[in-house]
Structure 1
Amino acid sequence: MDTLTSLRVFCSVAESKSFTAAAQRLNLSPAMASKHVLHLESRTGVRLLNRTSRRVSLTESGALYLAQASEMLGSLDEVEAAISNIAVTPRGTLRLSAPVWAATPFFVNLLAEYQQRYPDVSLSMDLSGRIANLVDEGFDLALRAMTRDRLDAGLVARPLMEVEFLLLGSPDYLSRAGRPGSTADLNGHALLRYSGINTGDQLTLDGPHGQQRVSFRTTMLSENESLLHLAALRGMGLAFLPTRMVQEDLVAGRLEAVLPENVKFFHTLYAVYASRKYLSAKVRTFIDFLASRVSASADA
């Protein structure tokens, strides 16, 4: 039995979590798809998939095998394309890790436009907000707002856009706690703090006379920006949030920017991926698409 074909069948079954779906995609019978996976399990001497009457799932060994097999097959496709000088049509599942605040109409519109342009690519999204290990967890790509010095070895980062963060509060909260007229007035204000950055209650902010140290009072700590956003809307305190995430709230008056001329900061949003000579078509086209659309949005 052709081991290369078996590898493609296994990857398809693992991604779709179904022998039937994989068999239809590859124009095989479900029985033949099962034989290909059995061939790999016999060859490796380990069980790669857990099978029940209702679902298929990866074993621990199967997850490791999938990550390596997917990378190998992707590299093979890329090398063949480079040699033959034929463009590979983007296809397959693009596994993407992104910040929680990417769940916005702006970003979803970009995903929809990309999928319409490349219908053979399906998207698997992780918006947990954690810093995923791209290689070990099998992610193709991550979007991260960060500085380059936080980049892990062996990864490549392509800058996409500058993300503005403003300090925001609800009209209700600001009416109760007072609207700060200067950076110094922020001392003692309730802060809904993002735990992904270890800043503590004291932050150094720009003021009219240079940088000033401000002591907040943390009332909520979370790695989930969506939760902090909702808490700010409910009047629980101030929060630093991306402008794109709260644009509609600012227009509607549900949130107000606090000292927007001074109290704001920027992070660069990077497309981060494992260092490889040949990028798969799905990754390359997605990065290029994001870069072009973000640039067009910034110029508009």
Structure 2
Amino acid sequence: METINPLDHLSDLAVFVRVVDTQGFSSAARAMGLTKSAVSKRINRLEKQLGLRLLQRTTRAMSLTEAGRVLYERAAQGVALLDESARLAAGLIEAPRGILRVTASVTFGKLCLAPLIPEFLARYPEIELQLTLLDRFVDLVEEGYDVALRLTRTPPEQVVAKALMPVRYRLCAAVDYLKNRKIETPADLAGHNCLHYGLRELGSEWRFQRAGEEARVQVKSNVVVNNSEVVRDLLLAGLGIGLVWNYAVDREIADGRLVPLLPEWSPVGPFGQTAYALWLPQTHLPPKTRVFIDFLAERLRETPERAG
């Protein structure tokens, strides 16, 4: 006997279920927007392919055969499940709902993103946000994230990128560390313990710009850490001079615990000066993803103090 693949007969099975449910070919045709002859051809084709008689038909009545009853009981469940699945899928397309997987770097996620989450979830209560904070490269395809928030100079070509907010580096140190020490030019940094976010392979050269002028200085440090909050804490402990993201130290600078240095010079960091939302290109961006990106663009743009 020829092996039957149910996937080859899904549409015909759906017509068969509708004929039984509506008790007739004409009523099924009206319900499905088909002609009566098209419905009849579908049923005949299904019976021929299955090698079974499913319906007993006369000019006055129609009834199920034993094989038809067995098939209907199973097929009706499958058609109902497909209908329900289609409705659920359509719901995800029509409105912002479902699980939204987002990743961000640890410090940016804690200081810039986390304070906005309650407002976002209140605005979109049918979205379940799954946030993962990682200080490493994330592959959106392999790891299944909907959106990655990253500070980068040049977004990868294979993703779609939207700029969310400007960021910049701050050169600063604790008040106690600066006692009896003067930092008047970038060159003065060479004699100090210089802490920054990053890894040693990024190099030990710090760059600064001022009105078209550029200064480069080789710095030394007895600790390198890939977390801006840890760098900030080490600065507060008086360990040295730091080059760190503004959002990690703005509060400490505002309350006087850290002192900004060389204000006329702009540090040039290795990661660029823009925070981006990154996502994979797709024909129709799911509403849950679209509203999240739009929300961040709106709210982060409204906080200029984080950029300066």
Instruction: State the TM-score bracket (shorter-chain normalisation).
Output: 0.5 to 0.7
What is the CA-CA distance between 1:207 and the residue it aligns to?
4.9
Determine the C-alpha separation between the residues in 2 that align with 1:216 and 1:191. 6
Deviation at 1:77, TM superposition (A): 8.4
Whether the aligned pair in 2 keeps the contact of 1:190 and 1:219 (CA below 8 Å) is yes
TM (normalized to structure 2)?
A: 0.64
Cα pair 1:78 1:278 within 8 Å, conserved: no
Aligned equivalent of 1:43: none
Residues 92-129 of structure 1, C-alpha deviations (whole Å, 9 max, x = no match): 22211112222445532211110111122222222221
For the aligned residue pairs, the C-alpha RMSD in angstroms reads 2.8
Change (3 A) 1:201 1:78: farther
Alpha carbons 1:173, 1:235 under 8 Å: kept: yes
Alignment correspondent of 1:154: 158
One-letter amino acid matched to 1:240: L
Aligned residues: 219
Deviation at 1:261, TM superposition (A): 2.2
- Are 1:230 and 2:233 counterparts? yes
Gaps of 5+ in 1: 4-75
> 1:11-33, CA deviations, whole angstroms, 9 ceiling, x for partnerless residues?
xxxxxxxxxxxxxxxxxxxxxxx
Kindly state the Cα deviation for residue 168 of structure 1 after the two structures are TM-superposed: 1.6
Partner of 1:279: 285
Give 3-state SS (helix, strand or coil) of 1:167's partner. strand
Deviation, structure 1 residue 179: 2.9
Counterpart of 1:122? 128
Task: Look at both structures and tell me which one has the larger radius of gyration over its CA atoms.
Answer: 2
Q: Secondary structure at the match of 2:303?
A: helix
Q: 2:99 is aligned with what amino acid?
A: T
TM-score normalised by L of structure 1: 0.65
Residue identity opposite 1:121 in structure 2: I
| 1:186 Cα deviation after fit | 1.5
1:219–1:237 CA contact under 8 A, matched in 2 = no
Give 5+ residue unaligned stretches, structure 2: 1-6, 8-85
- Counterpart CA distance in 1 for 2:134 and 2:94 is 31
Cα deviations by residue, 1:256-295 (Å, 9 ceiling, x for unpaired) = 1111220434611110011111111111100001111122
Query: Partner letter of residue 159 of structure 2?
Result: L
> In structure 2, how many angstroms separate the alpha carbons of the residues matched to 1:208 and 1:248?
27
Q: Which amino acid aligns with 1:255?
A: L
Counting aligned pairs with the same residue, the percent is 30
* Cα deviation digits, residues 17-56 of structure 1 (max 9, x gap): xxxxxxxxxxxxxxxxxxxxxxxxxxxxxxxxxxxxxxxx
Residue in structure 2 matching 1:210, options 206, 209, 213: 213
Distance 2:152 2:200 in 1: 10
Match of 1:192 among 184, 190, 195: 195
The structural deviation recorded for 1:235 is 1.3
Of residues 86, 106, 112 in structure 2, which corresponds to 1:100? 106
Q: Does 1:139 align with 2:145?
A: yes
